Amino acid sequence: MGKKIKVELPKFTWWDWFLILGFITVSVIVSILKGNFSTLSFIAGTCSILCVIFGVKGSVLNFLFGFAGSCIQGYIALKSGLYANAALFLLYNVPMQFVGWFQWRKRMLGGGREGIKTRWMTWPQRALLVVLCALSVWGVSRLLLMTDDPQPVSDALAMTVAVGAQFLLTFAFIEQWFMWLVVNGANLIMWSIAAARGVQFAPIMIIQYVFYTMNSIYGIVLWSRMSKKG
């Protein structure tokens, strides 16, 4: 008979509340100042912030919020003409939430109370990852140049590196947090340019990726500790 695993709600620290309340507060203030509040962006951002917080803690619950956030952000990217970003969320991130859920259930520490068993990649694996990402960015950007995508290079970089980061997240590799730093940087550039063009969703998306960047740094620290537990 299989061992029953209880999915528990992890305890939030002051840092977690800072990310949640900070994102909500800054988003509302910026939206009021600009007179351009986007309910969809706000919901997507909140789901995504909760997703990354639960992800840092090694909780499988991150995939529930990841599913909701990916669906909404995919729609937002599609409406903004960022096709690679839309494909990333809708065709890749959404199904990967289900894969991740089942993979993480196998790697729980202490029945889910102590996060998950994380691991580092080998140097050959890292080298292969860098080469694959570089080739993918080049190939996707060439394809996007044939569309009306306003930012083909940034869009391609954000999409392809995020594909690799989501894969590493699914299989609990710590290097995923370094890749998310690259993804967040590319998205900050992309949505800043979109904001300058007057795209409605852009301001909240910028705020969202600023908080993502801070959380990615925190993720490197916390996942390194979990790797020692495992």
% residues pLDDT > 90 (the chain):
38
Stretch 73-82: mean pLDDT? 86
Query: Who wins on pLDDT, 91 or 107?
Result: 91
Instruction: Pick 228 or 78 by higher pLDDT.
Output: 78
* pLDDT per residue as tens digits for the range 163-194: 999 999 999 999 999 999 999 999 999 889 98
Lowest mean pLDDT among 28-42, 52-66, 124-138, 210-224: 28-42
More confident residue, 10 or 155: 155
Q: What is the dihedral of CA 16, 29, 190, 194, to 10 degrees?
A: 160
Please report the pLDDT score of residue 114 as a whole number: 65
Distance in angstroms (rounded) separating the CA atoms of residues 204 and 209: 9
pLDDT at 117 over 50: yes
* Res 4 pLDDT > 60: no
Of the candidates 190, 186, 180, 210, the one whose C-alpha atom is nearest the C-alpha of residue 76 is 190
Q: Which pLDDT score, from 0 to 100, does residue 33 have?
A: 77
Structure tokens at 157: 């970089």
Rounded alpha-carbon distances, angstroms, from residue 58 to 24, 109, 127, 169, 222? 23, 9, 26, 10, 9
Q: What is the mean pLDDT of residues 34-56?
A: 85
Determine how many CB atoms are found less than 10 A away from the CB of residue 126. Answer: 14
Look at the block and give the residue holding tokens 């507060």: 25
- The CA distance from 74 to 80, in Å, is 10
- Single out the residue of 140, 228, 121, 230 nearest to residue 179, CA to CA: 121
